[in-house]
Amino acid sequence: MGISDLYGKIMGPISEGCSWWWEMNNSKDEFTNLVLMVSLAVMTIAWYIVLIKKWNNGGRELPPGPRGLPLVGSLLFLDPELHRYFAKLARTYGPIMSLRLGHKLCVVVSSSSLAKEVLKDHDSIFANRDVPIAALVATYGGQDMVWSAYNSHWRMLRKVCVREMLNNANLNSLNAHLQQEVHKMLCDMYAKAGTPITIREKMFEVIFNAITSMLWGGTQKVEKSTAEFRQVVEEAVLLLSKPNISDLFPVLAPFDIQGVVRKMRKLSFWLDQILDTVIDQTLDMNQSEEGGRKQESRNFLQVLLRHKEDEDPISTTKIKGLLTDFVSAGNDTTATALEWAMAELIDHPEVMRRAQEELDQVLGMSTRIEETHLSKLHYLSAVVKEVMRLHPGGSILLPHSPSQSCVVGGYTVPKGAQVLVNVWAIQTDPEAWDNPFEFKPERFLMGTSKCDYSGNDLRYLPFGSGRRICAGLALGERLLMYTLASVLHSFDWRLPEGTKLDLSDKFGMILKMATPLVAIPTPRLSNLKLYT
C-alpha cells in the first residue's frame, strides 16, 4: 500500500467523523461548540502525553530517531521498502533507533553487535512476539510456533517439532519424497525445454509437494491444486506484510477498516477445512491398521497425533497451527530463495558455470543427484549462502517484544515495544562485508567460510538467532541445496529473447523479486533416461 493510500485510510474516517460532529452541532450556540472543541483537543493532547511518558519509561532515554507527527508519528513518512528505509535512517540516527508508528513504539536494530544484545545477551527478555491481528486470525489465536508467546506452550511445541519431527531420522525420510518430486519436476521441464518457465511457480510446486508428503504422506486426498494453495499462501503473506490500522491504532481495531481480518478469516477457513480433512483421514487410517494398534510414525502428522494421548496432550488446534506454519511459511520462503538463486546465477553465468562444473565432477553426466552428494558440493553451498546473505527471506526478522524494559546499546527499550532486527542491513554492512552488494560466493570459501545458518555469527542470520531461530532451518537448507543442485545439473538456463533481468526486490514478510523470474531450460545431460 502506498503512503497516500495509508494516509487516506487513516485520515478518511477522522475527517468524516469531524464533518458529522460539525453538522450535528452546527445548530448549537458558539459557547457549546467551543467547549466541545476544547474538550476534544485536551483529550487528544492528554492521550499523546500519556503515550510519550509511557515510551520515555520514567525519563530514561529512548534510542534516537525521527520525531514524527502527533498521533500518527512517522507513519506517513514510511517508504514501502522498509528494509532500505530503516537502513537509510540508521545512517542518520545510528544502529539503534526508535520511531513512533501510530500507537506503537518501534525500535529498529541495524548492527550485528546490537543484534547480539537482543537475540543472545537478552534473549529470554526479547523472546516474545509483537503479534499483528492478521497473524492471530491465521494461527488460531497464536496457537502455532511462529507467532506464539514465549511460554510453556511454545516450549512444548518447539520440543516436539525439533526433537521428534525435524530430527535427522525424519529428515532422512524426506529424501525419498523430495527425490520423487524433484524428478517429476525435471521431467516436466524436459518436456517444456526451450519454452519459458515461471521459476517461482515451479519451485513452489515441487517444495509444496515434498513438504506435504512429509507432513501427512501420500494417502490423504486433498482435492485442491498446488496453484490454489500458492494463491492462498501468497494472499495470506501479503495481508501479514501490509500495515494494518487496527495494529497501529488499537482503538480502531473493532472496525477492521482495511478488511484485513475479514480477508484473513476467509483464507484461514479455506485452509482449516483442508487440515480437518487430512487429520480425520489420518486418524481413520491409524485406527484401521491392524485393529488400531499403534504403528511406527511415518509422517509428521502421525507424530503430532500420537501426542494427543499424552498426559499433557497437544490439542487439534495446536496441531493445525503447526501444520499451517509448515504449509505457508516453509513453502513460500524456500520457493522464493530458489527463485533468487536462479536469478543471480543467470545474472552471473561464470558462477553458474563453476557450480555446474563442480556438479559434473561430483556426479558425472549420467547420474541422478543423491543426498550423499550434497556434502561434497562446497561451491554450491557457498552460492546458497551468498544468495541468503543478499536476499534474506526475512529482510527484517519477525517482530520481537520485550517482556520487561531492557537496556540495549546504552538506551532503554521499554516493555511491550516492537523490536525489529534489520537483517538486510546487517548482512550488507560494509564494515562487516567486503563489497557487500556484490554477488560473490567465494567469500564463503575464504574468511567467512565458518559462517553457517546457526545464528552464532551475528553478521549472518538469514534464519534468525537465539530462542526464536527458525525451527525448520535444517529442512530449509536440505530443500534448497537438493532442488538447486538438481536443476543446475540437469539444465542450462537463459532468459527469453528480448527480456532483461530485474533483480529489484519487493518488501514484505518475505523479501520477493519485484518481477517474477521467467527462464528457459536447455537439457545438458547425456543420459536422456534421467529425464523420463
**Cell numbers found for residue 503:** 533483480
CA 210 – CA 479 distance, rounded (Å): 9
Q: Enumerate the β-bridge partners of residue 420.
A: 108
CA 286 – CA 299 distance, rounded (Å): 12
Residues 285, 299 contacting (CB under 8 angstroms): no
Query: What secondary structure, in 3-state letters, does 434-502 show?
Result: CCCCCCCHHHHHCCCCCCCCCCCCCCCCCCCCHHHCCCCHHHHHHHHHHHHHHHHHHEEEECCCCCCCC
Q: Where are the domains of the chain?
A: 4-56, 72-531
Q: At what angle do helices 331-347 and 199-216 cross, to 10 degrees?
A: 140
Strands (E), 59-160: 96-101, 104-109, 128-129
- 3-class DSSP assignment, residue 425: helix
Residues 96, 444 contacting (CB under 8 angstroms): no
CA 118 – CA 98 distance, rounded (Å): 15
DSSP string across 132-179: -HHHHHHTTTT-SSSS--SSHHHHHHHHIIIIIISSHHHHHHHHHHHH
State the DSSP code for 71: T
Q: Following CA atoms 482, 488, 491, 492 in sequence, which dihedral angle do they give, to the nearest 10 degrees?
A: 170
Residue 41 pLDDT > 60: no
Name the one residue in this structure whose C-alpha cell is 506435504. Answer: 212
Query: Which whole-number Å values give the CA distances from 414 to 50, 56, 101, 403, 407, in the listed order?
Result: 14, 8, 15, 9, 9
- 3-class DSSP assignment, residue 310: coil
- Max distance between CA atoms of the chain, in angstroms, equals 92
State the DSSP code for 414: -
Instruction: Give 495-502 contacts, CB < 8 A, sequence gap 24+.
Output: 495/346, 495/519, 495/520, 496/196, 496/520, 501/343, 501/346, 501/347
CA end-to-end span of the chain, whole Å? 45
CA 328 – CA 412 distance, rounded (Å): 35
Which range has the top average pLDDT, 31-45, 444-458, 478-492?
A: 478-492
- pLDDT, tens digit (0-9, with 9 covering 90-100), for 346-365: 999 999 999 999 999 999 98
- Confidence tier at 34 by pLDDT (50, 70, 90): very low
Residues 499, 493 contacting (CB under 8 angstroms): no
Residues 450, 457 contacting (CB under 8 angstroms): yes
- pLDDT, tens digit (0-9, with 9 covering 90-100), for 495-510: 999 999 999 999 999 9
Residues 383, 351 contacting (CB under 8 angstroms): yes
**Cell numbers found for residue 275:** 487440515
- 3-class DSSP assignment, residue 54: helix
**Cell numbers found for residue 136:** 492471530
Q: Give the per-residue pLDDT at 219.
A: 55
| Closest by CA position to 216, among listed 94, 103, 305, 85 | 305
Q: Give the per-residue pLDDT at 9.
A: 46
CATH fold for the domain made of 72-531: Cytochrome p450 (1.10.630)
What does the mean pLDDT of the chain come to? 86
Phi-psi region of 65 (alpha: psi -120 to 50; beta: other; left: phi over 0): left
Phi-psi region of 58 (alpha: psi -120 to 50; beta: other; left: phi over 0): left
| Closest by CA position to 66, among listed 17, 109, 107, 27 | 107
- pLDDT, tens digit (0-9, with 9 covering 90-100), for 436-475: 999 999 999 986 666 889 899 999 999 999 999 998 888 8
Lowest-pLDDT range, 19-33, 42-56, 151-165? 19-33
Strands 418-421, 104-109: pairing kind: parallel
CA 517 – CA 532 distance, rounded (Å): 26
- pLDDT, tens digit (0-9, with 9 covering 90-100), for 134-192: 999 999 999 999 999 999 989 988 988 888 778 887 788 778 888 999 999 999 999 99
Write down the pTM of the prediction: 0.86
